[in-house]
């Protein structure tokens, strides 16, 4: 979770007994390496890193992960076999996230040790299959352990996933809504006050299915026709060029990279090149209504901002209640 799964949150979640993943997909290589070192200085517990194998400076990030013997790596689109081989040779757990059965099968063939399957309820870029359906079909078709993600917030969900055959759960939105999360208070309020039905998927934000809170800004993008999307994308390119001090060259380079990589329209490519700055508006600057807030639907049923430690303790209490319920059912049967 770019600008969210920062060293303080990752260390706090690992220190509390979870396994944090550091968000490096939105960082350049030097910043990424500083973030890894900062996390190492804040926890002696294991954690992993999430990055795109195609991002600029990926070679340096891979080398830093190998040198520092980071325990696990998370990735999704366009995995690079040589990187996976290097990680596996050092016993670093390769744990990609997939949102569709065919990607799960392919990821296993490419050497994944564990899969995170993210159902459509999940936040950020997401697929169209609900978590329970994706989990069932992936469990039937792969041999490696599967971790369920998308829509989880508590120990009952953990117990249900284990009963289903998963090896654990992964939660993004729930950890983003904790005390240690760096998201500004005003933006956290916007997440807490959103309803499940306010958190929907649009492809118009950056060309890929993206689950976000439909604030005024995203609603406008989602309703736009090709002409108004083009006007909006050029206006926002100009606005964000000023904001980020990016050169015309930087914007054009991202723009052509987007056009080449996916089947996007020109307007979507411009929006996509600007999307990190638009997300930062909400997640870093604390202006939720002017920016974009990637979110799982689970935000619609979150009501509090616990510390990571309180969250893990609560999850374990709930898990134990669920386990007792299972035992009662077992007892009644015998």
Residue 302 in contact with ligand FMN, rule: CB under 6 A: no
- Picking from 248, 211, 251, the residue whose alpha carbon sits closest to that of residue 131 is 211
| Candidate ranges 11-19, 231-239, 289-297, 301-309; the one touching ligand FMN (CB under 6 A) | 289-297
* Dihedral sign computed on CA atoms, order 137, 139, 145, 151: positive
Site string for ligand FMN, 10-29 (x = CB under 6 A): -------------x-x----
One residue of 29, 172, 288, 300 binding ligand FMN per CB under 6 A: 172
Please, which residue, 79 or 151, has the CB nearer to ligand FMN?
A: 151
Interaction with ligand FMN in 93-112: which residues (CB under 6 A)?
97
**Which window, 32-40, 172-180, 186-194, 309-317, contacts ligand FMN (CB under 6 A)?**
172-180
Interface with ligand FMN, residue 76, by CB under 6 A: yes
d(CA 301, CA 88): 39
Q: By CB under 6 A, what part of segment 233-252 binds ligand FMN?
A: none
Binding-site member from 14, 173, 181, 187 for ligand FMN (CB under 6 A): 173
Q: Is residue 171 involved in binding ligand FMN (CB under 6 A)? A: yes
Contact with ligand FMN (CB under 6 A) among 79, 127, 296, 300: 296
Q: Is 202 in the site for ligand FMN (CB under 6 A)?
A: no
């Amino acid at each position: 979770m770019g600008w969210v799964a920062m060293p303080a949150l990752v260390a706090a979640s690992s220190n509390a007994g979870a396994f944090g993943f550091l968000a490096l997909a939105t960082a350049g290589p030097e910043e990424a390496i500083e973030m890894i070192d900062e996390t190492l200085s804040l926890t002696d517990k294991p954690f992993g890193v999430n990055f795109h194998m195609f991002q600029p400076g990926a070679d340096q990030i891979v080398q830093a992960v190998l040198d520092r013997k980071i325990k696990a790596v998370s990735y999704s689109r366009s995995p690079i076999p040589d990187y996976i081989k290097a990680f596996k040779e050092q016993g670093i757990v390769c744990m990609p996230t997939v949102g569709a059965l065919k990607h799960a099968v392919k990821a296993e063939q490419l050497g994944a040790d564990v899969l995170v399957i993210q159902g459509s309820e999940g936040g950020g870029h997401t697929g169209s299959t609900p978590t329970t359906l994706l989990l069932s079909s992936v469990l039937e078709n792969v041999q490696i352990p599967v971790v369920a993600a998308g829509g989880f917030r508590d120990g009952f969900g953990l117990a249900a996933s284990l009963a289903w055959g998963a090896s654990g759960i992964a939660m993004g939105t729930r950890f983003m809504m904790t005390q240690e999360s760096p998201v500004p208070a005003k933006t956290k309020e916007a997440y807490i006050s959103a309803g499940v039905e306010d958190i929907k998927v649009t492809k118009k934000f950056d060309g890929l299915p993206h689950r976000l809170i439909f604030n005024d800004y995203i609603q406008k993008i989602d309703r736009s026709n090709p002409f108004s999307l083009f006007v909006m994308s050029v206006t926002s390119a100009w606005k964000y060029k000023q904001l980020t001090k990016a050169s015309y060259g930087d914007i054009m380079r991202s723009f052509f990279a987007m056009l080449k990589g996916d089947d996007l329209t020109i307007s979507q490519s411009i929006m996509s090149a600007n999307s990190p700055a638009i997300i930062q508006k909400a997640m870093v600057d604390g202006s939720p209504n002017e920016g974009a807030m990637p979110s799982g639907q689970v935000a619609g049923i979150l009501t509090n901002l616990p510390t990571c430690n309180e969250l893990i303790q609560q999850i374990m209490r709930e898990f134990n209640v669920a386990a007792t319920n299972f035992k009662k059912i077992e007892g009644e049967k015998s």
